[in-house]
Amino acid sequence: MRHFLPVFMMMLLGATAISCRPTHEKEKSAAMQTITHPNGIVLTIDETLTANQTQAGYMIEQKDKGSELRCPFVIEIRLEDGPEPDGQSKLSIVDWTRINYRIVRESGGGSHGDEYTMTAWRPCLGKQILAIQRMQAEMEWELDFQKAFQIIAHASCNN
């Protein structure tokens, strides 16, 4: 029996570490909805997400939060005047859209690892569409900002 205890503990620890990773499985067949903010930003998101309007844009969250209580899934999308944010950035191309981004690691995030903040942006009619998402992970390769990249890649602005 003692031989199985370490295996059981590793399985238990693995299950808790996985709980902060986003799952996109149920979103693949979800219907899409388009929302327009008074500032002109237009987002197309799937119906598994909810968009709470803020002064500068939206806070995007999962409708079914379930296991997200310890690791909330929140993406802030906003439209800002002016040039792109300062600092070094990386480039990602999502569905033929160029997106600049940077990821900042903040240690001491808690039981699910360090906290990482991803800020992504792209120009839109002389302004910048920004996406900001925070996530905890034990290892950087566990990070998954795919949903934020998809939302910003398909966003547009009317003003």
Domain count, the chain: 1
Residues in contact with 134: Cβ distance below 8 Å, sequence separation at least 6, in sequence order: 74, 115, 116, 117, 118
Q: For residue range 125-135, what is the model confidence (pLDDT) as tens digits? A: 989 999 999 98
Whole-model pTM?
0.76
Domain ranges, residue 125: 4-157
Partners of 124 in beta bridges: 127
Q: For residue range 60-99, what is the model confidence (pLDDT) as tens digits? A: 998 876 555 556 789 999 999 876 777 788 888 899 999 9
Q: What is the CATH number of the domain that holds 11?
A: 2.60.120.1690
Nearest to 122 by CA among 111, 130, 133: 130
Q: Which of 140 and 44 is assigned the larger pLDDT?
A: 44
Whole-angstrom CA distances from 127 to 38, 76, 80, 104, 154 are 15, 16, 6, 23, 15
